[in-house]
Amino acid sequence: MPRGRVAPGARPSGRRRSDAALLFGLLPVLLGLAGCSGEQSALAPAGEEAGQVAMLFWLMVAGATLIWLLMVGVTVYAARIRPGRHSEVVARRLLIIGGIVFPTTALAVLLAYGLSLMPDFRAPGDGLRIHVSGEQWWWRVAYDPGRGAVAVPTANEVRLPVGQRVEVLLSSPDVIHSFWIPSIAGKVDMIPGRTTRLVLEPTETGEFRGVCAEYCGTSHALMAFKVVVMEEAAFADWLAHQAAPAREAPGGRAEEGAKLFRTTGCGGCHAVRGTAARGVIGPDLTHLASRESLAAGILPMTAEALHDWIARTQEVKPDALMPSFGALPEADLDAIVAYLGSLT
């Protein structure tokens, strides 16, 4: 075969190398795009505020891309197309336009647009109000129906009616956390000694994920929550159910578990409304089994996960305030799990 020819079927190694380079270059882009959808993405907005944040992001991306292209164009023009010296007057004018006027104008426009979004974030909601407190490492949630009605406590799950403005009042008893549902709104810090506010308005029904966006200690990364956006009627039914006291244990193992729950002292930290358990240190468990996840969004709501959580708490969530109860006899653990599973 003559030199320089490539055997049929074979590809030039240069082409193979450039394919590999292209793939390598595209990989970060593809990985980045993989984060643009899903239940926890600020770039797949399902709320008014998240929509504004996403719009601001895309505008800044577009602006930065345009400016980058402009700079590359000017550089190529000056280096290749029309190289040469400029007079001092022209050079000074270019410096003033390119170095002062252009960046000041571009940044002022961006700042004005960013500030124009601010009032919406702070507008008070005139409907539902929810208090959320960041605990170590879970979320204390209380629905305030207004008009003097008693607040409805729950934990680690936030349900919202679609299309309604909801005011979320945020606090923390000890360290700073940050409340963030990327698909629905921006993040707001929860600061000890202060109450901060977030107004949000979900625009789509569905399930989303919220997270703590501020490092708050050992199990910061294990502090998430489920967000369920529901139709208004379904939400009203859910809230009415959450306001009701716990179901009576349905007999058998669950009833045995209810007794063990009392005698083991679980009620010292947890409340089960309608029973003698009135603790306020840990999450309210009145309708625990109606939630979709356990231990602040890190375990599924199943009997196995409940068992695992109670027996190995400190391994599942290091430094949580609840000790592991793995020393309890297996039969007792199973009974307590059956009782908790009955709290729908």
Residues that bind ligand CUA (CB under 6 A): 134, 137, 177, 212, 214-216, 220, 223
* Distance, CA of 75 to CA of 242 (rounded, Å): 64
The residue among 165 and 220 lying less far from ligand CUA, judged by its C-beta, is 220
CB of 289 to ligand CUA, least distance (A): 25
CB of 156 to ligand CUA, least distance (A): 12
* Distance, CA of 223 to CA of 276 (rounded, Å): 28
CB of 268 to ligand CUA, least distance (A): 24
CB of 236 to ligand CUA, least distance (A): 30
For residue 178, what are the β-bridge partners?
189
The residue among 190 and 343 lying less far from ligand CUA, judged by its C-beta, is 190
Token look-up 């990989």 returns 27
Q: Going by C-beta distance under 8 Å and a sequence separation of 6 or more, which residues neighbour residue 199?
A: 49, 120, 121, 122, 123, 124, 125, 165, 166, 167, 168, 185
The residue among 57 and 215 lying less far from ligand CUA, judged by its C-beta, is 215
CB of 279 to ligand CUA, least distance (A): 21
* Distance, CA of 339 to CA of 264 (rounded, Å): 13
The residue among 298 and 333 lying less far from ligand CUA, judged by its C-beta, is 298
- Cis bond upstream, residue 58 (ω within 30): no
**Termini Cα distance of the chain:** 79
The residue among 49 and 214 lying less far from ligand CUA, judged by its C-beta, is 214
